[in-house]
Chains A and B, each alone.
Chain A
Amino acid sequence: MSPFYYKTAFETLQELRKSGERNPELVVTLGGKIIYEGYTGKLGDEVWSVYEQVFIAALDYRNDALAETCLERLEKKFPKSPRVKILTGMKLEAEDKLDEALELYDEILKNDDSNIATIKRRIAVFKAKGQDQRAIEALTHYLDAFYNDAETWLELSSLYLNYHLYQQAGFCLEELILLQPQNHLYHLKYAEILYTNDNITNINLALKEFCRVLELCEDHVRALYGVKLCTSRLLNLSSSSSIDFKTISDLNSLASERLSKVYSLYSKNKVGNSNNELRQIIHDWLNESDKSY
């Protein structure tokens, strides 16, 4: 039997906790090994965060035994903690007992009005029940008080996008850009929402935002495609001479040039026929779109 590199396991779990990404299979495999083969002693104080993380992953992966074990140990150590109550609530959510979970969260909120984690779980329960209207109301109520919570603005914008309310989703993205102006990905999302919400002012603004993404992150391929789409849409849409024709077609050719550069660099690093095909397709498309102007 190969040795279990528990140190690497601890580090991997810590990385996953930091980034917050959802990878239940990996966490359950590592966590199960750590808990059932008794490596928890080597963790020290970190063990409680690991229990919480493995519990949530076990709920995701439907490994009920592992979830029970983690919850028991957490309850033994922290008997009256609201955080552990929230974990119990999550277990009820996973077992599809959504109303009971909602009651539990309301009880916690009665004692402590501004327990942020509970407010967020309530919103998740509304989402799970399909009551998106209530979820949106609760989100806006929460964001009135705590407007600098990037994750919640993202959640609200994704809920609006489910209902194609592009203007409201754009507003959420604007708030996000105010919070983290140097994050090029928020500009990218905003630009794509604007482009989908199709009218002349929005396409102009979307073009500016795509250029901003390129300014923040050089040669971002998705933004280069965005510039090409926006410029071709503007050149198609404007019947009058209300736009600066030269600038826009220059931007279009610049984007094509950067795209061909990026793809030729990319296929230089890899070998194989499929990449040559890809390069050929891209070249043909770029040439076609350049020819129309």
Chain B
Amino acid sequence: MTVIVSLGKFLGWIGFLTLFHSAYSTYEHLSYLKAVEKIPNEMPIEITVECLISIVIFAISIIMVAGPLKPILMKDEMTKKTIDKVDIRPNFNTFNHRCRSMRSLVN
């Protein structure tokens, strides 16, 4: 299980690097266009593809890191409860039970 988690974290880092690389390439491309004085309305397709690939890598890494799903239905949680657990009223507990006398015997 932890192999998958660490692999997922590693992929997460790769995805982050890919995203950062595509963002920096966009910035560089825009400054190049500004330097050459062309209108910045077209992005080279490689940068777009790299951004989309980074999303896919992130998705895979998050699924790997997240771990096993926990049950969400109230029904599953409730079937495990016993009737003793329902009758707990901690705020109304009284202390005049037999332990009061019995402890002095034990001690």
B48 smallest CB distance to A (angstroms): 48
Q: Are B87 and A61 closer than 8 Å at their CB atoms?
A: no
A37 CA to B38 CA in the complex, in Å? 74
A151 CA to B87 CA in the complex, in Å? 8
Q: Does A136 contact B (CB under 8 A)?
A: no
Q: Are A21 and B83 closer than 8 Å at their CB atoms?
A: no
Which of B78, B87, B99, B100 is within 8 Å of A216, CB to CB?
A: B78
For the residues of B in contact with A, the DSSP-based class is: helix
Which of A123, A124, A155, A188 is within 8 Å of B83, CB to CB?
A: A188
Task: Determine the chain B residues whose CB is within 8 A of the CB of A21 once the complex forms.
Answer: 85, 88
Which of A24, A56, A120, A184 is within 8 Å of B92, CB to CB?
A: A120
B92 smallest CB distance to A (angstroms): 5
A171 smallest CB distance to B (angstroms): 18
Q: Are A60 and B75 closer than 8 Å at their CB atoms?
A: no
A117 CA to B89 CA in the complex, in Å? 12
Q: Are A182 and B99 closer than 8 Å at their CB atoms?
A: no
A222 CA to B79 CA in the complex, in Å? 13
Q: Are B104 and A124 closer than 8 Å at their CB atoms?
A: no
A117 CA to B91 CA in the complex, in Å? 7
Q: Are B95 and A128 closer than 8 Å at their CB atoms?
A: yes
Q: Are A124 and B78 closer than 8 Å at their CB atoms?
A: no
Q: Does A127 contact B (CB under 8 A)?
A: yes
A216 CA to B89 CA in the complex, in Å? 24
B100 smallest CB distance to A (angstroms): 6
Tally of B interface residues using CB under 8 Å: 23
A62 CA to B106 CA in the complex, in Å? 11
Q: Are A217 and B78 closer than 8 Å at their CB atoms?
A: yes
Q: Are A182 and B78 closer than 8 Å at their CB atoms?
A: yes
B99 smallest CB distance to A (angstroms): 6
A185 CA to B79 CA in the complex, in Å? 9
Q: Are B95 and A154 closer than 8 Å at their CB atoms?
A: no
Q: Are B85 and A19 closer than 8 Å at their CB atoms?
A: yes
Which of B91, B94, B99 is within 8 Å of A61, CB to CB?
A: B99
Residue in A20, A189, A218 with the greatest tally of chain B CB atoms within 10 Å = A20
Q: Are B95 and A90 closer than 8 Å at their CB atoms?
A: yes
* The 3 residue pairs across chains A and B that have the minimum distance between CB atoms: A62-B103, A94-B95, A120-B91
Partner-B contacts on A (CB < 8 A):
19-22, 24, 56, 59-63, 90, 93-94, 96, 117, 120-121, 123-124, 127-128, 151-152, 154-155, 158, 182-186, 188-189, 216-218, 222
Partner-A contacts on B (CB < 8 A):
74-75, 78-79, 81, 83, 85-97, 99-100, 103-104
- Besides A19-B85, A93-B94, A185-B83, 9 more A-B contacts (Cβ < 8 Å) are A22-B93, A60-B97, A94-B100, A120-B92, A154-B89, A158-B87, A182-B74, A182-B75, A222-B83
